[in-house]
Amino acid sequence: MKNEPTNPAPEDADYRRAFTPVICYPVDTLPLHDPAAFAPARAGMALIKEVLVQPRNAETFHVPQGHFFRIVCPDGPQVGDLNLWNANDLSERFFSGKTRALHGTHISTGDKLWSNLPYLRPLATVTHDTLDWYGWDDFGGSVHDVIGTRCDPYTNVLLTGTEYHHCCHSNLTRALAAETGLSLEQAEPHVHDVLNVFMCSGFTLDTRQYFIKTSPARAGDYLEMFAEIDLLGGLSTCPGGDCSSGHSSDAATCSPLLVQIFKPPLGTPANWKSPARSTYSRTHGA
């Protein structure tokens, strides 16, 4: 709440606030991440493709199911906005809201990136994060968030009255249109809320507003994921660079990001099966 309250606290205010919170979506029934099951695949995987994403731009990339991909800072700190789609059906895409509800505001090793309804299945699993040491800072910030949306030209006009054409939303729209042959108008609705890779962010402790701060990433840092299905990815280099000052302008120093795609040895990970879409049958209606 950012405004001063206009109503006095009732006599039992402390009592009302003191109830113990309940986790909304317990994940005890989800399969636990087993690093040992992925270890042979990671140890023997071979690099098969690289895609370099230039500053203030976006690129698409394909990851076959059962392959790994890494998002790498090759030169220095740089935030990236990641979209993921089912490579065979753009209507199935990354659902940042449900991922946040299941795994928390920031993701790391062992967390999954879930798809939207009615599919609701893991698109990818995080298998390595070189920034997992960061944890939570004194401001309540952490790395790799699923709370921000993506910088976009509409909000920029709303708040500043100026147009900027290299927001991540714009970059991803152009990249998806180029990949699929869709027009910009057709491609834009498929661009969705993102995983903010390397972003350090949180909510302020007083007004609970979303904040960004300088990314702790350095050259060589990476976030690695395992593709649970055939994926089409889109990655934009945020115009805010390391997001130490803001975004949606050409003011910040920006660096490229590198996407690396790896093929694991045949038969690894052992006993892995691509996840099926949700089994909810709609028997009782949508």
148 occurs within a structural domain = yes
Tokens of 193: 């809320």
Average pLDDT of the chain, as a whole number: 95
Tokens 């993102």 correspond to 194
pLDDT in tens, 131-179: 999 999 999 999 999 998 999 999 999 999 999 999 999 999 999 999 9
102 occurs within a structural domain = yes
284 occurs within a structural domain = no
Domain that holds residue 235: 48-224+231-263
Distance of alpha carbon 227 from the chain centroid: 14
Q: For the chain, what percentages of helix, strand and coil (3-state, to nearest 5) are there? A: 20, 30, 55
Rounded to whole angstroms, how far apart are CA atoms 242 and 189?
A: 27
pLDDT in tens, 56-88: 999 999 999 999 999 999 999 999 999 999 999
Which residue, among 185, 165, 168, has the nearest Cα to 237 in the 3D structure? 168
Largest CA distance in the chain: 66
Q: How many domains does the chain have?
A: 1
278 occurs within a structural domain = no
7 occurs within a structural domain = no
279 occurs within a structural domain = no
Q: What are phi and psi of 11, to 5 degrees?
A: -60, -30
DSSP 56-96: T-EEEEEE-TT-EEEEE-SSS---EEEEEEETTEEEEEB-H
pLDDT in tens, 3-18: 788 999 999 999 999 9
Q: How far is CA 150 from CA 61, 93, 102, 111, 176, in A?
A: 19, 15, 20, 21, 15
pTM for this one?
0.95
Q: For residue 285, what pLDDT is reported?
A: 67
Confidence band (pLDDT; 50, 70, 90) for 90? Answer: very high
21 occurs within a structural domain = no
Q: For residue 1, what pLDDT is reported?
A: 52
8 occurs within a structural domain = no
Q: For residue 282, what pLDDT is reported?
A: 74
